[in-house]
Amino acid sequence: MYIFPIIIVLLAVVIFLGFRYISLASKLKRKNDELSTLISSTEKKEQKNQEFISSLSQELRTPLYGIMGLTNILVNEHPELSDNKNLKSLKFSGDYLLTLINNVLQVNVLETEKIEVDKQQIDLRELTQNVVNSFSYATENSGNTLNLEFDDEIPEKLIGNSSILSQILMNLISNALRFTKNGNIVFSVNLITKKGSMNNISFKIKHDGNEITKEDERSIYQEFIDIDKVKKSYLGSGLNSLIVRGLAKSIEGEIIVQNNSHAGSEYAFVVDLETVNENASTNNESTGNEKQKALIVDDNKLNLLVANKILSKENFECTTIDNGFDAIELAKDNSYDIILMDINMPKLNGIGTTKRIREFDHKTPIIALTAVDVTQLNRQIMQAGLNDYILKPYDKNILLEMIHKHIPN
158-160 and 184-195 strand pairing: unpaired
The arithmetic mean of pLDDT across residues 114-121, rounded, is 65
The yes-or-no verdict on residue 203 having pLDDT over 80 is: yes
- Residues counted in the chain: 409
pLDDT at 335: 93
The arithmetic mean of pLDDT across residues 177-202, rounded, is 87
Indicate whether 233 and 269 sit together in one domain.
Answer: yes
Indicate whether 107 and 219 sit together in one domain.
Answer: yes
**Per the domain annotation, does 67 fall within a domain?**
no
The yes-or-no verdict on residue 285 having pLDDT over 50 is: no
On the 0-12 / 13-18 / 19+ scale of CB atoms within 10 A, 318 is buried
The yes-or-no verdict on residue 407 having pLDDT over 80 is: yes
Indicate whether 102 and 248 sit together in one domain.
Answer: yes
- The partner residues of 367 in beta bridges, in order of sequence, read 340, 388
Whether the CA torsion 307, 311, 312, 316 is positive or negative: it is negative
Indicate whether 239 and 200 sit together in one domain.
Answer: yes
What is the three-class DSSP state of 162?
A: helix
Q: Which of 146, 69, 143, 119 is nearest to 395 (CA)?
A: 69
pLDDT at 173: 82
Domain boundary among 248, 275, 302: 275
Q: Look over the chain and give the mean of its residue pLDDT values, rounded to a whole number.
A: 76
pLDDT, one tens digit per residue, over 372-390 is 655 556 677 778 888 888 8
**Per the domain annotation, does 36 fall within a domain?**
no
Indicate whether 251 and 119 sit together in one domain.
Answer: yes
The arithmetic mean of pLDDT across residues 245-249, rounded, is 79
CA dist., res. 350 & res. 300, Å (int): 13
Residue 386: how many other CB atoms lie within 10 Å: 24
pLDDT, one tens digit per residue, over 56-78 is 666 676 677 667 777 777 777 77
CA dist., res. 65 & res. 256, Å (int): 35
**Per the domain annotation, does 37 fall within a domain?**
no
pLDDT at 338: 95
Confidence of residue 118 (pLDDT cuts 50, 70, 90): low
In whole angstroms, how large is the CA radius of gyration of the chain? 29
Total domains in the chain come to 2
Give backbone dihedrals phi and psi of 122, rounded to 5 degrees, phi first. Answer: -130, 150
Do residues 349 and 376 make contact, with C-beta atoms less than 8 angstroms apart?
no
**Of residues 136 and 113, which shows the higher confidence score?**
136
pLDDT, one tens digit per residue, over 129-162 is 878 877 776 676 667 888 899 999 999 889 888 7
Domain boundary among 211, 245, 275: 275
Do residues 92 and 167 make contact, with C-beta atoms less than 8 angstroms apart?
no
pLDDT at 318: 95
The yes-or-no verdict on residue 9 having pLDDT over 80 is: no
Q: Which of 322, 362, 313, 318 is nearest to 342 (CA)?
A: 322
List CB contacts of 164: < 8 A, sequence separation 6 or more.
99, 117, 247, 250, 251
User: By residue range, what is the domain housing residue 326?
Assistant: 292-406
CA dist., res. 385 & res. 360, Å (int): 12
Domain boundary among 245, 275, 305: 275
**Per the domain annotation, does 74 fall within a domain?**
no
- Assessment of whether the complete model's pTM goes beyond 0.85: no
Q: Is the peptide bond before 5 cis (omega within 30 degrees of 0)?
A: no
**Per the domain annotation, does 339 fall within a domain?**
yes
Whether the CA torsion 101, 107, 110, 115 is positive or negative: it is negative
For residue 144, what are the CA distances in angstroms to 132, 149, 178, 219, 246?
13, 16, 10, 21, 29
pLDDT, one tens digit per residue, over 73-95 is 777 777 777 777 777 777 767 76
The arithmetic mean of pLDDT across residues 362-377, rounded, is 78
Indicate whether 360 and 243 sit together in one domain.
Answer: no
Indicate whether 161 and 301 sit together in one domain.
Answer: no
The yes-or-no verdict on residue 408 having pLDDT over 50 is: yes
List CB contacts of 233: < 8 A, sequence separation 6 or more.
178
* Domain CATH for 112: 3.30.565.10
Confidence of residue 239 (pLDDT cuts 50, 70, 90): very low
The arithmetic mean of pLDDT across residues 2-27, rounded, is 72
pLDDT at 58: 62
pLDDT at 50: 63
Indicate whether 116 and 263 sit together in one domain.
Answer: yes
pLDDT at 105: 56
The yes-or-no verdict on residue 305 having pLDDT over 90 is: no
Residue 369 CB-half CA count within 13 A: 27
∠ CA 157-158-159 to the nearest 5 degrees?
140
**Per the domain annotation, does 191 fall within a domain?**
yes
Indicate whether 147 and 267 sit together in one domain.
Answer: yes
Indicate whether 218 and 300 sit together in one domain.
Answer: no
**Per the domain annotation, does 48 fall within a domain?**
no
* Domain CATH for 332: 3.40.50.2300
Indicate whether 182 and 238 sit together in one domain.
Answer: yes
pLDDT at 141: 62
The yes-or-no verdict on residue 218 having pLDDT over 80 is: no
**Per the domain annotation, does 387 fall within a domain?**
yes
Indicate whether 259 and 329 sit together in one domain.
Answer: no
pLDDT at 112: 44
198-207 and 264-275 strand pairing: antiparallel
| b/e burial code for range 163-197 (CB count within 10 A of at least 16 → b) | bbbbbbbbbbbbbbbbbbeebebbbbbbeeeeeee
Helices H, strands E: what count in the chain? Answer: 14, 12
